[in-house]
Amino acid sequence: MAQALSLARLALGQVSPNPAVGAVVVKDDTIVGQGYTRPPGDAHAEVVALRQAGEAARGAALYVTLEPCCHFGRTPPCSRAIITAGIGEVHFAMTDPNPVVAGGGQRELQTQGIRTYTGEHESEARQLNEAYIKHITTRMPFVTVKFAASLDGKIATRSGDSRWISGVESRRYAHHLRYVSDAVMVGANTVLSDDPQLTVRCCGGKGGTVKKQPLRVIVDGKGRTPVTARVFQQPGKTLLVLGRPATPEERSAFNAASAELLELPLGEGQVDLKELFRVLGSRGITSVLVEGGGTLLGSLFDAALVDKVVAFIAPVIIGGEKAVTAVAGDGAAKIADSIQLKNMRVEQMGQDVVVSGYVGEQICLPA
């Protein structure tokens, strides 16, 4: 199962809104076939592994990170392929929370005399597909907040300079987070101060080529983002979300820049963030990486819309009352009301320390 999980990680960033799944066929203690989920419309992990195994699959054991599907979608059900291949037993790490599966795959296999086992490495499997789990059960994307800050919690100096607080290793990992996310989101202040590209510039496949760029989402309540910003000149799609109606001139200019405009006013130049995530979820966006700035992050925390936090803490002190903090918004009035991260992980990355954890219910843990 550990090998199946390793294979599943290779599918992250390329198969959404499908889950990233890995499968291994074992016969006489030897791996005879293995594979991972291909992009939507192509073969699932089980089918890839069974094709590689061929006749050796008959009587073998199949290890897969998610319960095999039993319904027709873009591809035929994997349960049928497993039965046809003559597999003797199936081990899967977790039940598929998709309502059209949810134990159905296991039942179909059992009715055909195939032994099934579940629960091995379940926590790891759930964490790997935490975005899929949330989206398939709520139709909302999994929201991860990422920021790089100094030891005193600053993400920029009083002049707005922020390059670079974190080290090379941390920035490389940040690109990995973009790579495995369906969308990358920032606020208008970040675009105005940093003029970022918001693209993945590493973590590609063979030859270093990045097959997919995440959707770039700019949250701009007052409509201050210039059409000349670098974000509109990059490969991939950009969505500009306004908190007020767009003017005809803006529509024409952003249309010429191949950018989509979305109006979601909440009032007083603010964007309805909850509705924004509903819209993204309805479009098949399962995961959103929010990279700042402090105003947007504060609004998301205040609205209880954050699922996970990844914080890069650099060994520097910036200081200054006017230096920019990582999270603004209203915040907690009392320490007892502050957000406590759960299932935390702390690791060193170069000279930085990376702290990650979950807010609220932990999707990655067994239900």
What is the set of active-site residues?
46
Spacing of C-alpha 288 from chain mean position: 6
**Separation of alpha carbons 24 and 7, rounded Å:** 9
Match 């996310």 to its residue by tokens: 181
In the chain, the amino acid numbered 144 is T
Q: What are phi and psi of 183, to 5 degrees?
A: -145, 150
Which of 79, 71, 85 is closest to 33 using CA atoms?
85
The Cα 312–Cα 168 span in angstroms is 12
Residue type for position 190: T
By C-alpha distance, which of 330, 323, 293, 260 is closest to 192? Answer: 293
Residue 79, class by beta-carbon neighbours within 10 Å (0-12 exposed, 13-18 middle, 19+ buried)? buried
Which of 153, 177, 142 shows the shortest CA–CA distance to 328?
153
Among 194, 188, 183, 301, smallest CA distance to 244 is for 188
Spatial contact of 188 and 219, defined as CB atoms under 8 Å apart: yes
C-alpha to C-alpha distance for 175 and 129, rounded to whole angstroms: 19
Secondary structure (DSSP) of 323-360: SEES--SS--SSGGGS---EEEEEEEETTEEEEEEE-S
How far CA 216 is from CA of 63, 198, 251, 260, in Å, comes to 36, 7, 18, 10
Nearest Cα to Cα of residue 277 among 148, 97, 142: 142
Alpha-carbon 242 to chain mean position: 23
Q: Report yes or no: 120 and 286 within 8 Å, Cβ to Cβ.
A: no
